[in-house]
Amino acid sequence: MLICFIEINANNIQNQLSNDTINQTVDNKKQGYWIILGNMRNLPDYNPTDTIEEGFFKNNRKVGIWKKYYPSGALKSEITYINGRASGPFNTYHPNGQLEENGNWKGRVYTGTFERYYEDGTLAQKKTFNEKGKTEGVVEYYHTNGQLELSFTTDNGKEAGQASRYWPNGDLKETIIFDEKGEGVSSGEIERINPEIKLKDKNDDAKEIKVQGETNKGAEKDTKGVKIKDGYHKTYNDNKDILMDGEFKEGKLYDGKHYIYDENGLLEKIEIYKIGKYVGNGVF
């Protein structure tokens, strides 16, 4: 089945549609074109009349391309939805308007080519995902000056062969050889040959990482707000996605996995807990 999405300019839509045909609800379900304003969401920094996002609903579910905006009015993202799920091509943007990320989602995982850029438009990383959402082939990271920083090959998400790391001036910094298990042995740091190049400050696009050993904060509750009893449980969020899976003690995840999703419902990471403490991230 061929599915086509036609991007329509939001300003043209607003000019062609009257107030009576925007933000329609039919039989308690959102239908047609919707503009979500600041007074419809409890979000910081947005004024009541600011547009937060806009796009089409069909039977209360997002379809086609939805656009989100920063409080400044600058475009934040363009995400394709199928039946309420982010699926297909997407772009995200830095507050200055430069492209930040470009890729595809399918079945809640990344597929195909993915690229991330610094705020000045310089390529930061490039990789390719297979249909299972695992990296496949060459993975590359770049310094802020555009020089290649790290390059390695993956096979279904596992590092393989040799990885090469480079100084900002292009000199080889380190090589890492991976065995069949994906475990690497480093050559150690190699001194620069050419003069050092100082990099400009780059954005830290890494998400906040919990300190190893941090304990659970407060007792977890199930979807009905009831404190979870001791023993093994599997809990789910409002989208019926698995949320926590493991042993609970005194209402807290004691030994198991906590699944973290982003604002689009895509699995972002899996946190592993042992003896009630966060010990690291799992593989997904």
pLDDT per residue, tens digit, the chain (284 aa), is 333 433 444 444 444 455 568 999 999 999 999 999 999 998 889 999 999 999 999 999 999 999 999 999 999 999 999 999 889 999 999 999 999 999 998 877 899 999 999 999 999 999 999 999 999 999 999 999 999 999 999 999 899 999 999 999 999 999 999 888 878 888 888 988 888 888 866 443 332 222 223 334 455 555 445 678 888 887 877 655 778 888 888 888 888 888 887 655 556 678 888 888 877 766 54
- C-beta atoms surrounding 264 within 10 Å: 18
Residue ranges of domains in the chain, CATH in brackets:
10-157 (3.90.930.1), 231-281 (no CATH)
Burial of 226 by CB count in 10 Å (0-12 exposed, 13-18 middle, 19+ buried)? exposed
Tokens 């990383």, residue located: 125
- C-beta atoms surrounding 109 within 10 Å: 16
Q: 204-210: long-range contacts (C-beta < 8 A, 24 or more apart)?
A: 205/100, 205/116, 205/124, 207/268, 210/271, 210/278
Tokens 């080519």, residue located: 113
- The pLDDT of residue 136: 95
Provide the token pair at 241: 């996605």
> How big is the CA angle at 102 (ends 99 and 107), to the nearest 5 degrees?
150
CA distance 10 to 183: 50
This prediction has a pTM of 0.65
Provide the token pair at 36: 């979500």
- The pLDDT of residue 152: 93
SS3 labels along 83-105: CCEEEEEEEEECCCCCEEEEEEE
- The pLDDT of residue 5: 39
Is residue 266 within 8 A of residue 254, CB to CB? The reply is: no
